[in-house]
Structure 1
Amino acid sequence: MTQPAAQEPPAFVPPGRYRMYVDGEWVAGETEYDAVNPSTGLPWTRLPLAAPAHVAHAVRAAGRAFRDWRRSSPATRQQVLAKIADRIEADPGRWAQLLATENGRPIREATVADVPSSAAIFRYFSGLARDHHGDQLPVEDPHTLVYTTREPLGVIAAVLPWNSPIITLANKVAPALAAGNTVVVKPSEFATASVLEFAALVADLLPPGVFNVVTGDGRVGAALVAHPDVAKVTLTGGGPTARRIMAAAAEALTPTIMELGGKSALIVAEDADLERAVADAALGIYLANGEACIASSRILLHDAIADELLERFAGTARSIRVGDALDPETQVGPLVSRQQHDRVRAHLDSARRQGLRLCAGDEPLDLPASRSGGFYLRPAILYGDRVTAEVASEEVFGPATVAERFTDYADAVERANSTRYGLASGVWTNDLTRAHRIARDLDAGIVWVNKWFDLPAGVPMGGIKDSGFGRELCRETMLEFSAPKVVNIDLGAPRLPLWG
């Protein structure tokens, strides 16, 4: 049953007509398309759609700007990135309102997660800009001096997802700029306005061409990653998109960084603190509406505590407030699009046909009539004693997790490792030995112990297997955006008489 309309939370109001940002100028697209507010299902602004000529223009501009930006001092780059962090933090409410309107991220989360995280990433790489250097290499010959420098690569193509647009932008743009590269960003067509607002925020801080944004659908991204003057491609996205990008980049021998999806397992031991485990399990799957690559979308429960934890977890899920992302009381907002909503719903329906029990997620949505067109789903928990259904191995990317039970820890680890993904995983236990052993045996780029979703700046972010390669958010990322140059100097070594 729907409720009568109350006073509705205000959506973000664009400051004007959105245009792309290329070579320090605002550029109209070939055409425009509607951006849809996922809380209402209705258009809220128009966005530019680039033509191939726009992409070529942006890459040329970035290439020209690279000639000078690569020679800028580390102090200059440090100051610029620090100022960007300050500006992001200056108006967190505006960013949160924009993200809630754009992709359905609950406004309370955007305020405490997206905004400070994005600023922290820029500030972290601001510090690293002055500590990015080569090494002196000891060699046997005393008449030889060898050292390396770290050289920027050139034009970086950054392809962003829709779920956390300003965080993923920071993850790519901050280290690329800190290392002396220039950037062309292609945001998702479902999260474009936030990236254009970021461009407006930093326009006066960066020389023309250092930072560029071209917008539109997958055809725009395809033209960008295939451009022969792109030095490296960095993507956050899904496996199918990654394969297409890598195939296109291969034609130009362009290297890539891939931060891809996951099917991350949370293992709960019989000695775990169940209250904390339930809280972390809910955080792990329902934060960001479940639209997160590192979501805890599988839960393996020891038989001794499985029934109690499942009952507590289901009670938590049923109590979650679903609603307009702009409402500060909303805990889970809408999915980003009708297509994504229907895709997640299809996964749930298929799982039930394959015999899984829905412990939570079939409760009615209590929404006002004005939100009937939004893309809402209740937080769901699927259960089976030992799950072999596709939902246990396929990334759903929505507020739905799969719970199953185990008795043997080796079996639990084997099941956690059984998918083609390897991004994140975790174990909840008070046994220190067990924690270390399971952390050692889990095949994942990130292993959490008695926590989830903790990714402070400086900690490597990335996975193995189909979860991608390369690492973001850390010192190693600077190496991804630079190459070593060897300088080998003769200090008067005698020459062997090889000729004449």
Structure 2
Amino acid sequence: MEKIYNYINGALVEPVSAQYIDNYMPAEGRVYSLIPDSDKRDVANAVTAAQAAFESWSGMTVEHRAAILQRVADLIDRDLDALALAESIDNGKPVSLAKVVDIPRASSNMRFYASGAIHFASETHITGKEAVNYTLRAPVGVAGCISPWNLPLYLFTWKIAPALAAGCTVVAKPSEITPMTAFLFSKLCIEAGLPAGVLNIVHGVGPKAGQAIVEHPDIPAISFTGGTVTGRSIAATAAPMFKKLSLELGGKNPNIIFADCDWEQALATSLQSSFSNQGEICLCGSRIFVEKPIYEKFVADFVKRTKELTVGDPLDSNTRIGSLVSQAHMNKVLSYIDLARQEGGAILTGGKRVIIPGRCESGYFVEPTVITGLDHQCRTNQEEIFGPVVTIMPFETEEEVLRYANSTPYGLSATIWTENLKRAHRVAAGVKSGIIWVNCWLFRDLRTPFGGMKQSGVGREGGWEALRFFTEAKNVCIKL
């Protein structure tokens, strides 16, 4: 059985404890590899290596750093098929999705920040004829990056790319549920010639390895993507230590569909935004609000298309819905479907575990599920499910749908469908979410900031915001 190793000081190494934990293949429900059960000793070794590498890496010309990151991106492109297959096996998502989304976007992350660091501009202010003020930015030091299981390599590179481009060295922890692509990535870094200690990858569980990263006194910045409960715990540890924090947390995102929408585009994209990656994307539109004149037709057409989605082996190119990431998560999703029934919801399609004949008969598959008849304030509509489950509700006015949309403790993203430009601006301004898509979903320009409001997180990732996060600003004033 394959063993995954930590990547510390440029080498693949066993955990100090020599202990491993099981890594499950969710589509088959069986262990297929072993993960280091790392602890604070492994993190300490990684920090020591990162500190030793910091001076040379941060002092390297930005063009030299960028060239190394571009080589890593080239190797991701070269190994696209192998990385997509590994991610599908590790995560349960369709391999076809990993090939067109996860792995290409991981490569794009590396390329964007390699180029972005070269073109990053600081600020200069002329104070009349008296002085010139300009801002210098320097890397913060060793950055701690902790990434989630739903988009393993995509979100892993989303964090480490700007940190490395800014001149930081990194101690990173991928999710223990989906560690394989990060392990393969460490091999690509070695092949690309990334200097020893610049990036260190410590595998293991959150309470041990993750907590050790967060509380280490020589890691001044923490970037975390994951659940709101874990984010709250990280903030409780890091805030008294005055660490820089970027927390991208949960979402319960509204998808608002007005009667004047482009019908086919709204219907097809809403299907995608509901069930892509088995609904295991923090940006999925899990609450669909439809204007009353088109509500009945939308529900009928949406349910019909949902029933046509193929749930099956993630390695089959025809599969649209793969397995959920773990048995525990599958049970959580099914428990929320049961809760929806208890709260008076009508299950129009789905709602059950799926048994796939053959190699996947023990896998963690759940039917895409559509629910109506629920109040906007019930638990099903308030709590993050993170699975292939959506609710649909009618609305009459903009004021009403804004009340529904803003009723949850989350504020990550929202989608609005209308051909009325004035309405699009009004509703976008009224929705309390950090990311608003109008007549599209998951469209990303890496130059723009990314993040949520309320309990969906603090700070901003993406674009220049990410480069700023991993640097410290220093103002220089020169008297003329």
- Pick one of 232, 249, 259 that aligns with 1:270: 259
- Report the counterpart of residue 39 of structure 1 in structure 2: 27
Q: Does 1:23 align with 2:48?
A: no
1:2-401 map, 5 Å: 17-29=3-15, 30=17, 31-140=19-128, 142=130, 144-204=131-191, 205-218=193-206, 219-362=208-351, 365=354, 367-384=356-373, 386-401=375-390
Q: Is the 8 A contact 1:357 1:382 kept in 2?
A: yes
Q: Which residue of 2 aligns with 1:479?
A: 468
For residue 448 of structure 1, what is the amino acid of its counterpart? W
Q: Distance in 1 between matches of 2:53 and 2:123?
A: 27
**What are the superposed Cα offsets for residues 106-162 of structure 1, whole Å, 9 maximum, x if unpaired?**
1010000011111111111111111224333222463x4432211100001001100
Q: Per-residue deviation at 1:393? A: 1.0
Partners of 2:278 and 2:353 in 1: CA distance? 17
Aligned length: 476
CA distance in 2, matches of 1:331, 1:339: 22
- The Cα shift of 1:363 comes to 6.7
- SS in structure 2 opposite 1:138? strand
Matched residues in 1 for 2:168 and 2:7: separation?
Answer: 17
Task: Quote the Cα distance in structure 1 between the aligned partners of 2:461 and 2:213.
Answer: 21
Whole-angstrom CA distance in 2 between matches of 1:169 and 1:385: 36
- Equivalent of 1:441, from 414, 430, 436? 430
Flag the 1:363–1:233 CA change in 2: closer, same or farther, 3 A. Answer: closer
1:120 & 1:111 partners in 2: Cα distance? Answer: 13
Greater displacement, 126-135 / 102-111: 126-135
Report how far residue 307 of structure 1 moved.
0.6
> Aligned ranges for residues 445-484 of structure 1 at < 5 Å?
445-484=434-473
Q: Which moved more, 1:473-482 or 1:361-370?
A: 361-370
Q: Deviations over 1:213-261 (max 9, x none)?
A: 1111111100111000001000000111001111111242212101111
Within 2, Cα distance between the matches of 1:237 and 1:170? 15
CA distance in 2, matches of 1:408, 1:488: 53
Which residue does 1:4 correspond to in 2? none
- The alpha-carbon deviation at position 328 of structure 1 amounts to 1.5
* Letter paired with 1:17: K
Question: Could you tell me how far apart the structure 2 residues matched to 1:60 and 1:463 are?
Answer: 33
Of the structure 1 ranges 302-311 and 25-34, higher mean CA displacement relative to structure 2 is found in 25-34
Q: State how far apart, in whole Å, the 1-side matches of 2:133 and 2:443 are.
A: 40
CA distance in 2, matches of 1:342, 1:35: 18
TM value normalised by structure 2: 0.96
What is the aligned partner in structure 1 of residue 395 from structure 2?
406
- Aligned residue in 2 for 1:10: none
- The alignment yields a C-alpha RMSD, in angstroms, of 1.5
Partner of 2:284: helix, strand, or coil? coil
Greater shift in the superposed pair: 364-373 or 431-440: 364-373
Given that 2:355 and 2:361 are in contact with CA atoms closer than 8 Å, whether structure 1 keeps it comes out as no
| TM-score (ref. length: structure 1) | 0.92
Counterpart Cα distance in 2 of 1:141 and 1:63: 42
Change in CA separation of 1:463 and 1:362 when aligned onto 2, cut-off 3 Å = closer
* Paired AA for residue 330 in structure 2: H
Write the letter of the residue equivalent to 1:414.
R
Structure of larger gyration radius: 1
The share of aligned pairs that are identical, in percent, is 34
Question: Judging changes above 3 Å, is the alpha-carbon distance between structure 1 residues 427 and 490 closer, same or farther for their aligned structure 2 residues?
Answer: closer
Supply the distance in 2 between the matched residues of 1:374 and 1:133 (Cα, whole angstroms).
Answer: 50
Query: In terms of mean alpha carbon deviation, does 130-139 or 233-242 score higher?
Result: 130-139
- Deviation string 1:399-424 (CA, Å, 9 cap, x unpaired) is 00111111111110111011111110
Q: 1:301 to 1:282 in 2, by over 3 A?
A: same
Rounded to whole Å, the distance in 1 between the matches of 2:425 and 2:199 is: 43
Q: Is the 8 A contact 1:323 1:333 kept in 2?
A: yes
Structure with more helix by fraction: 2
